[in-house]
Amino acid sequence: MENCVFCKIVAGEIPSAKIVETEDVLAFLDIAPVNPGHTLIIPIRHFETLWDLPEDIALTLTRAIRKISKAIMAATKADGLNVGMNNLRAAGQLVPHAHFHLIPRFAGDGLDHWPGKAYKNVEEMNLVAADVRRALG
């Protein structure tokens, strides 16, 4: 995909600190880490979001996430680790090549949980659940 920064990293046109590279998956350090060791895991082929990924690639990525998470925890001596994925611009996706963030976390590192909002009442919550169930088909 032309002009995709992560496709350029895959192609070796942009340098990166690689952790693992296979036929389907690449893991490399985020250039602007939340904490040192912050790693991005991407499919080699260009897909935009989680739901664009073919199921076998999603499974391969999940296996890599589990394995590399343990290695990051050990290497950075982290106290915890966030796995995150931004899908589409409104959710904060700046690079439109699907990627998972693996972020080592340290007690007292000052990062907050995302803010939670309340539903107006239990009926509103049940309506939202029904909408999603309907969309599932």
SS3 85: coil
Active site residue 99: yes
Name which position in 10, 19, 25, 28 contacts ligand 5GP (CB under 6 A).
28
Q: How far apart are CA 80 and CA 18, in angstroms?
A: 22
- Asked whether position 32 contacts ligand 5GP by CB under 6 A, the answer is yes
Q: Which does 1 bind (CB under 5 to 8 A by kind): Zn ion, ligand 5GP, none?
A: Zn ion
Question: What string marks each residue from 34 to 63 as x (binds Zn ion by CB under 5 A) or -?
Answer: ------------x-----------------
91 DSSP assignment:
G
Q: Which helix H or strand E contains 71, and what residues bound it?
A: helix 55-76
106 in Cβ contact with 78 (< 8 Å): yes
- Asked whether position 101 contacts Zn ion by CB under 5 A, the answer is no
- Asked whether position 16 contacts ligand 5GP by CB under 6 A, the answer is yes
66 in Cβ contact with 81 (< 8 Å): no
Among all residues, which ones are annotated catalytic?
99
